Amino acid sequence: MLNTDTRPRRARLSPRISAIVYHSVLTAVSLFFVLPLVWMIVSSFKSKREIFDSPFALPTSLDFTVWTNAWERGDLGVYAVNSVITTVASVSGILVFGLLAAYAFSRLKFRFSKWLLLPFLLGLLLPVQSYLTAQSRLLDAFYILDTRWALILPYIGLGLSLAVFLLKGYLDSLPRELFEAARIDGAGDFRTLAQIVLPLMRPGLATVATFSVLSAWNEFLLATLYIQSDDLRTIPVGLLAFTGKYSTDYPTLFAALSIITIPMVGIYVVFHRQVINGITEGSVH
């Protein structure tokens, strides 16, 4: 093909220089994303004076006593255990209840199935604030406010809409013959679920699990409104209480932030593909 474009071409940079420029720009952008986190870790090893005077200097020594201090004084262990219990319980609920319902909605014919499915669609769109006020009174009326259930049940409710629709979507795409063959072979619904659906749904379940784990682990609004007892608090709320108590003890606060952040970033680095997939697919569904 002849190039009929006669306009003067801009001089092209040599590939080598353009590569250097390209990667410098992207490194600078990456720094903007990573710098606050690096500053957080570095500052935990400094005195308040050093943080103030030389924000970019490396610490003179790596003294981890401030980290152990933060862990103990901040009750971070208690908060971590609470977060684990709440997250595991709510995500298990979302996965089990979500898969059972998705299977029924996708594969079985029954009366009122459309009407039973419709509310979950509404749940995808409703902001949590739109039912927060009534929800808190309802939980109070059942005496479960300020217990673990006050978070576990709402988290399951929040996650179910996505789980039902995402898993139903995956199930809808499986060939019908698969289920009919199982039926002819005499498999009941529960055996079909356990031996055919479960293995095939691993990717879908992984997406839902990733999204739900992060949502529950990071949730703050309900956790701060529904839990008053300090020994039931999850990490986000506990951390905030801690910052309130030690508002000027910056090295300790930086240590606490680092203790929470580093394990998460570590897990992310290992499972980044899974995490990015889970969050993006869960958000865009």
**Under rule CB under 8 A, which residues in 182-201 are in contact with another protein?**
183, 188-189
CA dist 88 → 47, 157, 248 (Å) = 38, 15, 34
Which of 81, 174, 196, 279 is the binder for another protein (CB under 8 A)? 279
Q: Which of residues 203-262 bind another protein (CB under 8 A)?
A: 214, 217-218, 220-221, 224-225, 235-237, 239-240, 243, 250, 253-254, 257, 260-261
Which of 137, 143, 202, 263 is the binder for another protein (CB under 8 A)? 137
Q: Given the structure tokens 């980044």, which residue do they identify?
A: 272
| Closest separation in Å from C-beta 123 to another protein | 5
Q: Given the structure tokens 């673990």, which residue do they identify?
A: 148
| Closest separation in Å from C-beta 220 to another protein | 5
- 162 lies in the binding site for another protein (CB under 8 A): no
Of the candidates 154, 146, 167, the residue with the CA atom closest to the CA atom of residue 215: 154
- 88 lies in the binding site for another protein (CB under 8 A): no
| Closest separation in Å from C-beta 231 to another protein | 19
Tokens read off for 268: 């992310």
* DSSP annotation of 196: I
Q: Which of residues 3-62 bind another protein (CB under 8 A)?
A: 3, 5, 9, 19, 22, 25-27, 29-30, 32-37, 39-40, 43, 48, 51-56
Tell me the chain's radius of gyration from C-alpha atoms.
25
H or E element, residue 50: helix 48-53
- 87 lies in the binding site for another protein (CB under 8 A): no
Helix pair 235-245, 250-270: axis angle to 10 deg: 160
